[in-house]
Amino acid sequence: MLEDRMVYLRGDFVPWSDAKVHLMSHSVGRGSAIFEVLSFHDTVHGPAVFRLDEHMDRLLASAALLGMELPMSREEFHRAVLETVRRNGLREGFIKIICFYSQVAFDIFPPQRMLDASIFAVDPAQDLKGMHFPFEKGTTACIPKWRKLDPETVPVEAKAAANYLNGIMAKEEARKRGFEEAIMLDTQGFIAEGGTESIFLVKDGRLMTPALGTVLKSISRKSVLEVARVMGIETVEGRLRPELFFTSEEIFFSGTPIKVLPVRQIEERVLDKVPGPVTKKLFEAMRDIVSGKDERFKAWLFPVS
């Protein structure tokens, strides 16, 4: 249960119920928090965090893009993440790092540049009533009216809380229309990403995904591309037109909770075979990697103990 979890907060570990911030804090009122969501897995060598180094790099990059100062070094965050999982005695689940301004503020500017840091670790089965991503069944998606934030309006590569209202609106429209997920276009009409996931297509055996620039530098996206290249699958990163959704053989999402999730329906089009062969190969490859069975990618796993 969540009430049993210990939370890293400002250099100490506190009970879940004590991890609080004032409602008038700057990050609550203005959305000025940055965060990371990581997965950890029960591998053949014990619990391990997936690509912890990449997540730390992106956290530092988000702070730099937004002119924020983190209260800890990369190495201190690294140690605190592993210790949070250890303290909670968990084998697999998710970690969320939230860096925020805790001070009460009426002004649009934060009272100081230095953020506070918190780290949470949860087991979805025990704490979140389960999070089910049926790979064999796949999911459904639509293209909402809401466009992905333009990189000339805010730094879209910063994993900032305020930026996610964009994805929330897109997902809300999808649910109202009877779909499970949304795939947003950018302001130029090219494919961007899901509300909280990267998007991939397979056409003529080639794995295709939108190029960086208008989308988040997703670590799951990067991982899938790297694995595909090792497997000899041709990859294409570019400005992709939405018409491809209606001619591609396979479509899938990729994100922290599930590294590969096939799409069985996009708008009115129902795909013939789900999961498709490329999607299935990548799913199985990622499953072996996070379980520690593929020695070629052991550097991606950071043992908790």
Instruction: State pLDDT tens for residues 24-78.
Output: 999 999 999 999 999 999 998 999 999 999 999 999 999 999 999 999 999 999 9
User: In the block, which residue shows the tokens 């400002």?
Assistant: 10
- Determine, yes or no, domain membership for 304: no
Provide the percentage of residues in the chain whose pLDDT is more than 90. 93
Average pLDDT over residues 212-216: 94
| Beta-ladder partners of 48 | 41, 303
Averaged pLDDT score across all residues of the chain: 96
Tell me the one-letter amino acid at 36. E
- Determine, yes or no, domain membership for 51: yes
- Determine, yes or no, domain membership for 134: no
The two structure tokens encoding residue 152: 């000339």
Residue 210 in 3-state DSSP?
strand
**Residue 304 falls in which region: left (phi positive, over 0), alpha (psi -120 to 50) or beta:** alpha
The two structure tokens encoding residue 147: 């466009």
- Determine, yes or no, domain membership for 297: no
Average pLDDT over residues 222-235: 98
Residue 187 structural domain? 139-290
Residue 260 to residues 22, 39, 78, Cα–Cα distance (Å): 38, 14, 26
Residue 187 and residue 106 share a domain: no
Give pLDDT tens digits for 242-301: 999 999 999 999 999 999 999 999 999 999 999 999 999 999 999 999 999 999 999 999
Residue 178 and residue 106 share a domain: no
pTM recorded for the entire structure: 0.95
Confidence of residue 1 (pLDDT cuts 50, 70, 90): confident
Residue 112 and residue 16 share a domain: yes
Domain CATH number, residue 180: 3.20.10.10
Residue 285 and residue 215 share a domain: yes
CA distance 140 to 238: 24
Structural domain count of the chain: 2
Supply the residues annotated as catalytic: 159
Give pLDDT tens digits for 3-21: 999 999 999 999 999 999 9
- Determine, yes or no, domain membership for 52: yes
CA distance 110 to 116: 12
Under a CB-based contact definition with an 8 Å cutoff, are residues 294 and 43 in contact?
no
Give pLDDT tens digits for 150-209: 999 999 999 999 999 999 999 999 999 999 999 999 999 999 999 999 999 999 999 999
HEC assignment per residue over 60-118: HHHHHHCCCECCCCHHHHHHHHHHHHHHHCCCCEEEEEEEECCCECCCCCCCCCECEEE
Q: Which of 127, 101, 93, 87 is nearest to 10 (CA)?
A: 101
Q: In this predicted structure, what is the pLDDT of residue 133?
A: 72
CA distance 14 to 157: 31
- Determine, yes or no, domain membership for 262: yes
- Determine, yes or no, domain membership for 295: no
Burial label, 107 (beta-carbon count in 10 A; 0-12, 13-18, 19+): exposed
Give pLDDT tens digits for 110-137: 988 899 999 999 999 899 887 777 788 9
Under a CB-based contact definition with an 8 Å cutoff, are residues 27 and 100 in contact?
yes
Under a CB-based contact definition with an 8 Å cutoff, are residues 59 and 99 in contact?
yes
